[in-house]
Amino acid sequence: MSITVLKSAPGLEVSAQGDASDVVQVMLARLKLEGEVAARDYAARLDGWTGDIVVTSEQIAGACDQVPEDLKSQIRYAHDNIRRFAEAQRASALDFQTELRPGLIAGQKQIPLAAAGAYVPGGRYAHIASALMTITTARAAGVPRITAVSPPQPGRGIHPAILYAMSLAGADRILALGGVQGVAALAFGLFGAPPADILVGPGNQFVAEAKRQLFGPVGIDMFAGPTDSLVIADATADPLTVAWDLVGQAEHGYNSPVWLVTDDRTLAETVLAHIPACIAELPEPNRSSAQAAWDALGEVILCVNREEMAATADRYAPEHLHVQAADLDWWRRRLSAYGSLFLGELTTVAFGDKASGPNHVLPTSGAARYTGGLSVHKFLKTVTWQQVEPRALPELARATAVISRAEGMEGHARTADIRLEKLRPVLRQVGNG
């Protein structure tokens, strides 16, 4: 490859917070042992919350009254798009039945999980859209019991717009608990919630680590780290729009990388020149977050042609991949590693983050090499079944017995033999015995 790096990423200083895994291990052990007592204690100590944990329907109604009408109406618009997309996805997950040979019938069936737990982050920003993404998708999959948790703000509880979104999306129990204690309440079934079969939703390093440590007895959507975005832009792109797309996503936090991949040096240099002014327009603390992310992790990569740009994007496997270049059909066919793809200048990652429909809970840190994002499929078990009729039995039992004996598994061979025995009178009658 003949790539030129116009801006490199020096990387982050090693976090003063250190490794979250020890902290989370100690907290989970105590939460397992002491349950609700420990959860209340952590809520008080970490989030300054000593109020009710279970949010009542009166509290939800009261919170909804506080949300401005316009915001409610936009949340309903976003919910409608997310629900429609999730329902189309549900319709694409099919049951089937096939006759592999005469009398050998097998099928696949989609079974929704019995209970889901949704984590809605609420520490730094009020992640209204995350409530819609997780709960709506579980509902569309057909999960009958959905519990949602989100960190309470001191003295005020869960952000009213998050409560509105949770209730609109169809959560049937809401707990004012954040971080490890929130995740543990979902997994262990505290405060009257059914123990979750799957834990979903983004969160900070404590939330992600708690999900990782609980995985096994309970399922998780994915291990989601800090969000990342890559923009592919050619000479047809507008440099100021590209600069804003990079800065807009760098706002997520000091550890959120944004990358520009281009084959046009002039575009790259113009984007680089616009970025400081875009960052300066943000209010604090967003400005500092974007500046820190750009300084430490922002990269601008110059390639010689579109094939090299595509190969670079595939190597980064970004969470969000945004193409602002000619011939969008070529890019859609060619690109193969991303959480979600945004095509064209009129599209932007923020649309997907908030309101357009496809899920925003997506693989980060290169995980898009091996997985897609949150979908109805995560809430469904694709199980199989099989049924054998007499005409398929002789061949199938013989194959099973021979393979079993070759493996040294006599017990298995016998279970095949006795089926043949049962059938012998029937087979003799039809002259096949």
Ligand X SMILES: NC(=O)c1ccc[n+]([C@@H]2O[C@H](COP(=O)([O-])OP(=O)(O)OC[C@H]3O[C@@H](n4cnc5c(N)ncnc54)[C@H](O)[C@@H]3O)[C@@H](O)[C@H]2O)c1
Contact stretch for ligand X (CB under 6 A) within 122-130, 273-281, 293-301, 420-428: 122-130
In whole angstroms, what separates CA 135 from the centre of its chain? 12
Among 85, 191, 206, 316, interactor with ligand X by CB under 6 A: 206
Nearer to ligand X, 202 or 257 (CB): 202
Burial track 384-413 (b if 16+ CB lie within 10 A, e otherwise) = eeeeeeebbbbebbeebbeebeeeeeeeeb
Q: Is 318 in the site for ligand X (CB under 6 A)?
A: no
d(Cα 42, Cα 144) in Å, to the nearest integer?
29
What three-state secondary structure class fits 24? helix
Q: How many CB atoms lie within 10 A of CB 341?
A: 18
206 binds, options Zn ion, ligand X, none, Cβ within 5 to 8 A by partner type: ligand X
Active site residue 360: no
114, 147 Cβ separation under 8 angstroms? no
Q: How many CB atoms lie within 10 A of CB 419?
A: 17
* CA distances from residue 302 to 2, 232, 363 in whole angstroms, order as listed: 9, 10, 25
Residue 157, beta-bridge partner list: 153
Find the binding residues for ligand X in span 272-301 (CB under 6 A): none
SS3 content of the chain, % helix, strand, coil (to 5): 50, 20, 35
Contact stretch for ligand X (CB under 6 A) within 53-61, 221-229, 323-331, 404-412: 221-229
| Minimal distance, residue 210 CB to ligand X, in Å | 9
Is 320 labelled as part of a ligand binding site?
A: yes
Contact stretch for ligand X (CB under 6 A) within 78-86, 165-173, 199-207, 296-304: 199-207
Q: Is 251 in the site for Zn ion (CB under 5 A)?
A: no
In whole angstroms, what separates CA 180 from the centre of its chain? 18
Using a 10 angstrom Cβ sphere, with 0-12 exposed, 13-18 middle and 19 or more buried, the burial of residue 180 is: buried
Q: Is 123 in the site for ligand X (CB under 6 A)?
A: yes
122 binds, options ligand X, Zn ion, none, Cβ within 5 to 8 A by partner type: ligand X
Query: Phi/psi of residue 131, each to 5°?
Result: -65, -40
Residue of 320, 322, 345, 360 with catalytic role:
320
Residue of 209, 251, 319, 345 with catalytic role:
319
Q: The tokens of 177 are what?
A: 């608990």
d(Cα 379, Cα 189) in Å, to the nearest integer?
18
96, 108 Cβ separation under 8 angstroms? yes
Q: Is 372 in the site for ligand X (CB under 6 A)?
A: no
Parallel, antiparallel, or unpaired: how do β-strands 258-262 and 299-302 relate? Answer: parallel
| Minimal distance, residue 318 CB to ligand X, in Å | 12
Nearer to ligand X, 149 or 313 (CB): 149
Find the binding residues for ligand X in span 76-105 (CB under 6 A): none
| Minimal distance, residue 206 CB to ligand X, in Å | 4
Interface characters, 48-87, with Zn ion (x: CB under 5 A) = ----------------------------------------
Interface characters, 323-362, with ligand X (x: CB under 6 A) = -------------------------------------xxx
Is 249 labelled as part of a ligand binding site?
A: yes
Tell me which residue of 158, 111, 102 sits closest to 376, measured CA to CA.
111
204 binds, options Zn ion, ligand X, none, Cβ within 5 to 8 A by partner type: ligand X
Q: The tokens of 286 are what?
A: 């967003």
| Minimal distance, residue 361 CB to ligand X, in Å | 5
Interface characters, 317-356, with Zn ion (x: CB under 5 A) = ------------------------------------x---
d(Cα 39, Cα 46) in Å, to the nearest integer?
10
Q: Is 263 in the site for Zn ion (CB under 5 A)?
A: no
Q: Is 221 in the site for Zn ion (CB under 5 A)?
A: no
Q: Is 54 in the site for ligand X (CB under 6 A)?
A: no
Give the helix/strand (H/E) hosting 233: strand 229-233
Residue 149, beta-bridge partner list: 119, 175
Query: Phi/psi of residue 181, each to 5°?
Result: -65, -30
Nearer to Zn ion, 125 or 223 (CB): 125
Contact stretch for ligand X (CB under 6 A) within 117-125, 284-292, 321-329, 342-350: 117-125
Which residues are known catalytic residues?
Answer: 319-320
Binding residues: 119, 181, 204, 227, 249, 252, 320, 353, 407, 412
Binding-site residue ranges for substrate: 227, 249, 252, 320, 353, 407, 412
Please enumerate, by residue number, every residue annotated as part of a binding site for NAD(+).
Answer: 119, 181, 204
